[in-house]
């Protein structure tokens, strides 16, 4: 699932409790930036909802196909991947077709 609603992420997550509890949902990519301050929400509040629903935050480097676990949302870039089923996601990365980016196969 990808969520990018320009600061309204907390409210989308609060309204998605049934979906968040569904074990078939393996990962969520969510944009957490400072636009949520327009709604009186801190970035950490958004991350905490996902963490409380058994998702762990990761950064993904597509050039080397590596996931790096984070303590909270990715503060260096706006998109964070929150993963519930790490083995599933790692398997999908391993099985995915390699592509060419900047004359390099990844």
* Residue 85 near residue 92, CB atoms below 8 Å: no
Task: Read off the pTM.
Answer: 0.89
Specify the residue for token string 């600061």: 7
Predicted local confidence at residue 105, as pLDDT: 66
Predicted local confidence at residue 21, as pLDDT: 96
Q: How many domains does the chain have?
A: 1
Q: Which domain holds residue 76?
A: 2-105
Query: Nearest CA to 82 among 38, 27, 41?
Result: 27
| pLDDT in single tens digits along all 106 residues of the chain | 999 999 999 999 999 999 999 999 999 999 999 899 999 999 999 999 999 999 999 999 988 899 999 999 998 888 999 999 999 999 999 998 877 777 776 6
Separation between Cα atoms, residue 10 and residue 24, nearest integer Å: 21
């Amino acid at each position: 699932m990808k969520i990018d609603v320009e600061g309204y992420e907390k409210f989308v997550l609060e309204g998605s409790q049934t979906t968040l509890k569904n074990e078939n949902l393996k990962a969520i990519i969510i944009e957490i930036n400072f636009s949520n301050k327009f709604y009186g929400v801190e970035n950490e509040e958004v991350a905490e909802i996902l963490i409380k629903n058994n998702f762990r935050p990761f950064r993904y480097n597509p050039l080397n196909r590596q996931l790096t676990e984070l303590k909270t949302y990715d503060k260096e870039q706006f998109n964070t991947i929150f993963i519930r089923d790490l083995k599933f996601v790692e398997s999908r990365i391993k099985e995915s077709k390699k592509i060419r980016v900047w004359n390099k196969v990844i």
